[in-house]
Amino acid sequence: MKAGRLYLVPVPLGQTAPAAVLPAAVLGCARRLRYFVAENAKAARVFLKALPADTPLQQISVGELNRHTQADTLTQLLAPVLAGNDLGLISEAGCPAIADPGADLVALAHDMGVEVVPLVGPSSVLLALMASGLNGQSFTFHGYLPSEAGAREQRLRDLERESRQQRRTQIFIETPYRNRQLLASLLAVCAPATRVCIATDLTMAGELVCTRAVAEWRRQTLPEINRRPTVFLLHA
């Protein structure tokens, strides 16, 4: 039996209607799928209801893949596609497999000869880079930085030094309730001329993208970014 395809289905970055950020072809593909893998099944069903899906929600299968998933169970998640059905992989927000455990499933799909089809949709990392005005020719996404203050500040010094040496934009994120601490560390340890961008609530009503030198950030009232999805960028 021929295997189905694994579709990488982007979802909105926040409380935004799917049709506002996803192309019609992507919506059509997502609507027809009956099998999904998601980081959180409940959140996935909220997305499918908003499409709305062609199949009643109670008849749609959603397997969960998160940081608690054991590596030896990944093959079970691919069972529908190996049985000839198309399977959709979705993230909590944005594009699957980017800062997301779905990357492990994609890797296994390649190993098993399953066709992987990426679909077009919003990526907070690329949207932030596009809007930052920082170097888009050379950049690195580092995911989450250390949560402990000392380790976080040392990591920021390292990233700033590398940015200066390589002329590279450094991109990273934080758990939203620690955004203030990360911004405080950035402004405490980085050189006055280093440019820092804050990209918050991308594609949502409260969207804010602002790039300033550290010296300028220190002189102004800082935006309220606590508990709001934010991408941070720096270029020394």
Enclosing H/E stretch for 45? helix 41-50
Give 191's pLDDT tier (boundaries 50, 70, 90): very high
Is the pLDDT confidence value at 192 over 90?
A: yes
Is the pLDDT confidence value at 35 over 80?
A: yes
pLDDT of res. 70: 81
Q: Give 164-190 pLDDT, tens digit per residue.
A: 999 999 999 999 999 999 999 999 999
> In angstroms, what CA-CA distances link 169 with 129, 137, 142, 165, 186?
9, 9, 11, 11, 14
This prediction's pTM: 0.92
Handedness of CA 25, 203, 127, 65 (dihedral sign): negative
Handedness of CA 180, 185, 188, 191 (dihedral sign): negative
Q: Give 123-165 pLDDT, tens digit per residue.
A: 999 999 999 999 999 999 999 999 999 999 999 999 999 999 9
To the nearest 5 percent, what fractions of the chain are helix, strand and coil?
A: 40, 20, 40
Question: Which domains, and CATH codes, for the chain?
Answer: 5-118 (3.40.1010.10), 124-235 (3.30.950.10)
Residue listed under structure tokens 């804050």: 198
* Cβ(100)–Cβ(63) below 8 Å: no
3-class SS of residue 67: coil
pLDDT of res. 66: 86
Q: Is 153 left (phi over 0), alpha (psi -120 to 50) or beta?
A: alpha
